[in-house]
Amino acid sequence: MQTVNPTTEAELETYAHHDGEAIEEALDAASTAFEEWSARDVTERQTLVGSIAGGLRENLEEYAALMTDEMGKPLDQSRGELEKCAWVCEYYAENAAEFLQDERVGVHPKVKTKVSYEPLGPLVAVMPWNYPFWQVLRVAAPTLAAGNTMLLKHAPNVTGCATAIEDLLHDVGIPEGTFQTLVVGPDAVHDAIADDRVAAVTLTGSTRAGSAVAETAGKHLKPSVLELGGSDPFVVLDDAPIERAASVGVDARTKNNGQACIAAKRFIVVDDVYEAFKERFVAEMNDLVVGDPTESETDVGPLARDDLRDTLDEQVRATVDAGADVLLGGEPLDREGYFYAPTVLENVPEGTPAARDELFGPVASLFRVPDEAAAVELANDTDYGLGASVWTSDLDRAERLTGEIEAGAVFANELVSSDPRLPFGGVKSSGYGRELSSQGIREFTNEKTVWLSPPDGLE
């Protein structure tokens, strides 16, 4: 398994796949570690989870450079990702015990009834490359704090990040076997999910990958959480703050080189302000600096792999061939590395890739609609339902629209983002289940009902 720098196309490292014997040993280790780890008091577990934050900050420059080398995000964004990872570890270090404490439920004066939250066992986590530390630690922090163990199957092109995370967790005192990286292919993942030693599975990735993992989990009656793709609408209404909407919209579309499931992808703008928004938006997209992600002035780096760049280009070409107009960009850059020009399309025909699919890169699609009702209808006209952003000066109007837009999260006058304090997840083809907050830590627990009656009964 080889990693490649997407900026220079140079080979970075080669990693050996884990064979069947190594996978067996990892499953045994996870199962054995679970017995000891789950028996520890939650306050001890959360303290160890909190110590990960210090390790991240001590090694911040090393880890940031590794992320940028392996998947191409601008270096400042890599640093920001690590700070967010430290935050989620500290968040569960502070709150895990509270989230997992027994809940008393009154049903009868003589009966003690409660709900307790108990860990399930080893968890298989299948994670993507686009946020190689955050995607892992936002799952690992609550999973480990709850008393479960974790087997990570990371994306092949960020294997260095995967091994760095495992080493860090061991260095701060997380016991051997509690968190392990599996360098394996898809078949081995499905075999691991089916294994009796594995209790549950979580995946962040494409709808296709999520469907396959859910099928395996369902066949073997394993609980699962899926965080899948998105084609998030960015709705600009007639009373929106246009300048700020355009500026934030560019950031929402191009952050992480445009490779984010919650990136704004479909910009739905009412007719009254369409031309003003388009002019400002295209100008700011055009001002973006595309280049070496290790340079401080760079806004947009390369796509993570050559096949991702090629797929994006195919989607754009198919949309343009069907009748869309290119306002900016529209092609790969003729240079070393997997770079794609910041692109803006308009007059996007219905049913084309830019209207229907998830475009993973710095490509924005503009849609002109007559009014608010048409904007909501188009926002919901997608198989996805991860996030949405609504822009208006009337917060009462915005709050009303949050109930009309079909998504796991709706933000008014802000880009969609994840926050450890709030649950995160989608609906429709964007997946199910929730990560983060109290909901996230309870996803992989047994919500056990406990009923204690007196020996002489209730009479």
* Active site amino acids: 227, 261
Show Cβ contacts of residue 193 under 8 Å, excluding neighbours closer than 6 positions. 124, 201, 213, 216, 217, 220, 222
Residue 136: both structure tokens together = 């892992």
Percent helix, strand and coil across the chain, each to the nearest 5 = 45, 20, 35
Q: How far is CA 382 from CA 232, 408, 413, in A?
A: 9, 14, 22
Of 56, 129, 42, the closest CA to residue 88 belongs to: 56
Which residue type, as a one-letter code, is found at position 418? S
| Dihedral of alpha carbons 110, 103, 202, 41, sign | negative
Beta-strand pair 445-452/112-119 = antiparallel
- Annotate 65-91 with b (16+ C-beta within 10 A) or e (fewer): ebbbbbbbbbbebbbebbebbbbbbbb
Show Cβ contacts of residue 21 under 8 Å, excluding neighbours closer than 6 positions. none
Of 156, 200, 204, the closest CA to residue 182 belongs to: 156
What stretch of H or E contains 367? Answer: strand 363-369
Instruction: Give, rounded to a whole angstrom, the gap between the first and last alpha carbons of the chain.
Output: 68
Count of other CB atoms within 10 angstroms of residue 221: 6
Show Cβ contacts of residue 260 under 8 Å, excluding neighbours closer than 6 positions. 130, 131
Which residue type, as a one-letter code, is found at position 416? V
CA neighbours within 13 Å on the CB side: how many for 379? 31
Of 380, 377, 384, the closest CA to residue 426 belongs to: 384
119: three-class secondary structure by DSSP: strand
